[in-house]
């Protein structure tokens, strides 16, 4: 039996791609292993959004040098954005690597590995499928209960934000037909999935392929409505990441009307300064963002927003940065991914230089973190005593609270409608995975909530057989 091991770096898109890589390999007779010395193929699914992510990959590959010396037949492959960005040059730079494969070439992976095993020199395949885009289908995992799954609705990006390498590494926008999307969602839900996250670089710009409908602001909301209507068994429908430019009145209306949508959206803003938003080529002003954020927040009581922010973009002054801090407060984000600007090849911002010192970037990042943490804590603290619906995703990595005898209880974690992490303890013998249950929040941790079920766990949540639990594995994800 051939075996593979995958290490994933970066975003949800990569996590999703890694699952598709697993499926392609499984169809070719491979089985997964977590022991490198047993693997015939070790694959790194990479990220190149920031330079740090590239460093991580280089050091991860380096750790396999002794193994490759001992077992030269082990094939090392690099997939994802770094493979696409560097192409064959990466094969020269990383002498241990045998195969490079771009995001659109995943189905060709087994053949490339076979060629290398048959004696071919290192091979690179990084060609976009622009003329005939294909979207790899997620297949439900048999015998395992997977609560949350991703479905790609578009790939590539035409926005060209001046800091971002993604348009280069993922290519031009390509859209998937609604019929295919709905069919994949339905198949996953029939296989037991409860929550779907629609994926795309600007997911809410989705429109039916071939229909020049950028002026029709209702296509993505119409897709959400179609999924909600045609797949009634779906309990939660998320999407990531939307671009503020495409937050339209009909999208807000969908949030008001469709119960399957959560009361939370991750809406990247990047900066609170109009001067910088312009230099970033974000194509909205601060006031536009605030207006759209307010519209979403008004769609449902308690609606929350999270965001992405870059500090230290070329030319960012203290004044610009203060604008970002005041925006964070004004919008009331409950969490944020905050990054130091990292100059990337093939991006328009390169010509602006990188004139904010590392020291100032670090200092701004920590001030921003403090502000975000304060808001997150206030948000979580305010939820203590309230009731919330939780979709349980599985056993918690945390142990049950100390006062209870450990053997008598089990802790499960899930997400509330607002995407807050919630832990609850239940008597041993129950498995809440995949159930939506109401919890009363009893305590706020730094980044999560602890609660108790408002009713006894339902009989259907009696724990399944041990073999079934053992089959539930998660991919290792290394942050970028």
* Least Cβ distance, residue 289 to ligand F3S (angstroms): 14
Q: In what order do the strands lie in the sheet with 148-152?
A: 148-152, 195-199, 236-240
**CA separation for the pair 379, 328 (Å, rounded):** 13
Per-residue x/- mask for ligand SAH, residues 292 to 331, rule CB under 6 A? ----------------x-x---------------------
Site for ligand SAH in 50-79 (CB under 6 A): 50
In this chain, which of 6, 136, 166, 450 binds ligand F3S, going by CB under 6 A?
A: 166
**Residue 162 or 371 having the CB closest to ligand F3S:** 162
Regarding 163 and contact with ligand SAH (CB under 6 A), the answer is yes
State both tokens at 7.
């290490």
* Cα–Cα–Cα angle for 339, 344, 346, rounded to 5 degrees: 145
* Least Cβ distance, residue 170 to ligand F3S (angstroms): 7
Burial grade of 129 (CB within 10 A; 0-12, 13-18, 19 or more): middle
* CA 452 vs CA 48, 400, 407, 424, 459: distances in Å: 41, 12, 18, 5, 17
Residues forming a β-bridge with 77: 43, 99
Regarding 214 and contact with ligand F3S (CB under 6 A), the answer is no
Regarding 84 and contact with ligand F3S (CB under 6 A), the answer is no
**Residue 50 or 418 having the CB closest to ligand F3S:** 50
| 130 DSSP assignment | -
Alpha-carbon dihedral 467, 151, 260, 416, rounded to 10 degrees: 60
Regarding 268 and contact with ligand SAH (CB under 6 A), the answer is yes
**CA separation for the pair 43, 4 (Å, rounded):** 8
In this chain, which of 46, 74, 126, 202 binds ligand F3S, going by CB under 6 A?
A: 202
Q: Tell me the window of 158-166, 182-190, 273-281, 357-365 that interacts with ligand SAH (CB under 6 A).
A: 158-166
In this chain, which of 270, 304, 323, 409 binds ligand SAH, going by CB under 6 A?
A: 270
**Residue 236 or 243 having the CB closest to ligand F3S:** 243
The interface partner of residue 50, options being ligand F3S, ligand SAH, none and the CB cut-off 5 to 8 Å by kind, is: ligand SAH
State both tokens at 50.
């920031």
**Residue 243 or 415 having the CB closest to ligand F3S:** 243
State both tokens at 66.
């002794």
In this chain, which of 124, 157, 263, 410 binds ligand F3S, going by CB under 6 A?
A: 157
The interface partner of residue 344, options being ligand F3S, ligand SAH, none and the CB cut-off 5 to 8 Å by kind, is: ligand SAH
Buried b (16+ CB within 10 A) or exposed e, 21-57: bbbbbeebebeebeebeebbbbbbbbbbbbeebbebb
Q: Which helix H or strand E contains 359, and what residues bound it?
A: helix 358-383
The count of residues interacting with ligand F3S (CB under 6 A) is 10
* Least Cβ distance, residue 414 to ligand F3S (angstroms): 29
Site for ligand SAH in 336-355 (CB under 6 A): 339, 341-342, 344
State both tokens at 52.
């740090």
**Residue 339 or 412 having the CB closest to ligand SAH:** 339
Regarding 388 and contact with ligand SAH (CB under 6 A), the answer is no
The interface partner of residue 267, options being ligand F3S, ligand SAH, none and the CB cut-off 5 to 8 Å by kind, is: none
Regarding 164 and contact with ligand F3S (CB under 6 A), the answer is yes
The count of residues interacting with ligand SAH (CB under 6 A) is 16
Q: Tell me the window of 126-134, 162-170, 189-197, 453-461 that interacts with ligand SAH (CB under 6 A).
A: 162-170
CA atoms within 13 A on the CB side of 25: 23
User: 220 with 253: CB under 8 angstroms?
Assistant: no
DSSP labels for 195-264?
A: EEEEE-TTGGG---TT---TT-TTHHHHHHHHHHHH-TT--EEEEEPPPGGG--HHHHHHHHH-TTS-SE
State both tokens at 163.
């800091």
Residues found near ligand F3S in the complex (CB under 6 A): 157, 159-161, 164, 166-167, 201-202, 243
Residues within the interface to ligand SAH (CB under 6 A): 49-50, 163-164, 166, 201-202, 241, 268, 270, 308, 310, 339, 341-342, 344
């Amino acid at each position: 039996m051939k075996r593979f091991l995958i290490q994933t770096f970066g975003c949800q898109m990569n996590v999703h791609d890694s699952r598709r890589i697993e499926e392609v390999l499984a169809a070719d007779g491979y089985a997964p292993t977590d022991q490198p010395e047993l693997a015939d193929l070790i694959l790194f699914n990479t990220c190149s959004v920031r330079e740090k992510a590239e460093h991580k990959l280089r050091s991860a590959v380096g750790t396999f040098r002794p193994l490759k010396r001992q077992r030269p037949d082990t094939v090392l492959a690099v997939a994802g954005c770094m493979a696409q960005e560097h192409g064959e040059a990466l094969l020269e730079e990383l002498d241990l690597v045998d195969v490079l494969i771009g995001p659109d070439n995943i189905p060709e992976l087994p053949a490339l590995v076979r060629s290398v095993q048959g004696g071919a020199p290192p091979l690179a395949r990084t060609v976009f499928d622009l003329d005939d885009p294909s979207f790899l289908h997620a297949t439900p995992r048999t015998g395992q209960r997977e609560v949350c799954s991703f479905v790609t609705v578009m790939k590539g990006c035409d926005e060209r934000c001046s800091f971002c390498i993604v348009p280069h590494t993922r290519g031009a926008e390509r859209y998937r037909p609604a019929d295919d999307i709905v069919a994949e969602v339905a198949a996953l839900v029939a296989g037991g999935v409860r929550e779907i996250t629609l994926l795309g670089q600007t997911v809410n710009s989705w429109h039916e392929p071939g229909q020049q409908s950028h002026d029709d602001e209702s296509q993505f909301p119409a897709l959400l409505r179609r999924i909600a209507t045609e797949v009634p068994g779906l309990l939660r429908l998320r999407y990531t990441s939307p671009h503020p430019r495409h937050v339209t009145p009909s999208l807000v209306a969908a949030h008001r009307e469709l119960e399957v949508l959560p009361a939370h959206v991750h809406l990247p803003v990047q900066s609170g300064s109009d001067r910088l938003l312009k230099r970033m080529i974000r194509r909205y002003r601060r006031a536009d963002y605030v207006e759209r954020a307010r519209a979403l927040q008004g769609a449902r009581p308690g609606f929350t927003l999270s965001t992405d922010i870059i500090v230290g973009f070329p030319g960012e002054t203290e004044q610009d940065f203060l604008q970002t801090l005041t925006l964070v407060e004004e919008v009331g984000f409950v969490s944020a991914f905050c990054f130091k600007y990292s100059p990337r090849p093939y991006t328009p911002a390169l010509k602006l230089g990188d004139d904010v010192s590392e020291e100032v970037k670090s200092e701004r990042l920590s001030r921003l973190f403090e502000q975000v943490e304060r808001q997150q804590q206030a948000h979580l603290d305010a939820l203590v005593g309230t009731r919330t619906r939780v979709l349980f995703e599985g056993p918690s990595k945390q142990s049950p609270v100390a006062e209870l005898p450990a053997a008598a209880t089990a802790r499960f974690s899930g997400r509330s409608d607002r995407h807050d992490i919630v832990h609850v303890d239940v008597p041993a013998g129950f498995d809440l995975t995949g159930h939506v249950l109401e919890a009363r929040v009893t305590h706020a941790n730094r980044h999560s909530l602890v609660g108790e079920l408002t009713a006894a766990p339902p009989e259907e949540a009696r724990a399944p057989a041990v073999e079934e639990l053992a089959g539930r594995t998660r991919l290792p994800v290394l942050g970028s």
